[in-house]
Structure 1
Amino acid sequence: MSFVRTVVASLVLVGVAVPADAAMTVQTFLSRANALRDQGPMALMSPDLPVLKAEAKQATTQLRSEGAARAAAGKKPIACVPDGEKIGIMDMLDGLAALPASVQKRPLKDGYAQVLAKRFPC
């Protein structure tokens, strides 16, 4: 199980630039992440790994940017993550998988936002 966590955790550690219009849906991200999990050690060689890492990185960057913009505009944050607190990749994947099908059709960033808002409400 620790190998699976290592592989899945690596999805968010390193990213490659991806065009903004290439946003992946939550459903697609989960499907591809689960396929990687099923590959076991071979997942490290998969061409999907850098793609998923880039998507996770892009979604995180977009959320941070939106959070800063909301703060600058005096708007309430989407989530209130306590200092030093973060959500683990397995918890994030579980949270994404628990989202309704209608939300899973939306961009990954939107799914991340909902998981964070549920885990760290304001």
Structure 2
Amino acid sequence: MSRLARYALLPLIALAAPASAAMTVGTFVQRANALRDMGFAAMLAPDFQVLKEEARVAKQQVRAESAARQRAGKKPIACVPEGETIGIEEMIDGLAALPAADQRRPLKDGYAKVIARRFPC
């Protein structure tokens, strides 16, 4: 394979990264805002499913970490009242409002900070 062909494939390889590759907060926000700008057409974009899965995995990781903290007798990450949730728009806005240092952290960490701010213990 020629050097030029390899360089042409780099963007495709980056897009094919699995959800377990720990997308950063900043990357998630950037890509989510691009989808927001598309309106209803965003649901047809390939990135929609990618970001949906990233959000699902981050939420699952935060729940598991919170449960482990509770089992260890530590303070939970957040105290979400029964039946309360954070909508995706509020989550994206919360992630976007995080400081620059947090924008470089994994999405799971940003998600935890947003829910901790919204539902402090």
TM-score scaled by length of structure 2: 0.82
The amino acid of 1:25's aligned partner reads T
* Other-structure match for 1:112: 111
* Aligned equivalents of 1:59, 1:74: Cα separation in 2: 23
Q: Please state if 1:27 is matched with 2:65.
A: no
* Aligned equivalents of 1:100, 1:24: Cα separation in 2: 17
The amino acid of 2:93's aligned partner reads D
Offset, 1:42:
2.1
Offset, 1:37:
1.1
Q: Which aligned segments of 4 or more residues in structure 1 are displaced greater than 3 angstroms?
A: none
Offset, 1:19:
5.0
* Other-structure match for 1:10: none
* Other-structure match for 1:96: 95
* Other-structure match for 1:46: 45
Offset, 1:104:
0.7
* Aligned equivalents of 1:76, 1:113: Cα separation in 2: 13
* Aligned equivalents of 1:77, 1:103: Cα separation in 2: 20
* Other-structure match for 2:86: 87
Offset, 1:64:
0.7
* Aligned equivalents of 1:46, 1:114: Cα separation in 2: 28
* Aligned equivalents of 1:112, 1:101: Cα separation in 2: 15
Q: How many residues align?
A: 104
Q: Percent identity?
A: 66
SS of 2:105's equivalent? coil
* Aligned equivalents of 1:110, 1:79: Cα separation in 2: 13
Could you say what the CA RMSD is over the residues aligned between the two structures, in angstroms? 1.1
| Structure 1 residues not aligned, in runs of 5+ | 1-17
* Other-structure match for 2:120: 121
Contact 2:19–2:57 at 8 Å: present in 1 too? Answer: no
Offset, 1:119:
0.8
The amino acid of 1:60's aligned partner reads K
SS of 1:87's equivalent? coil
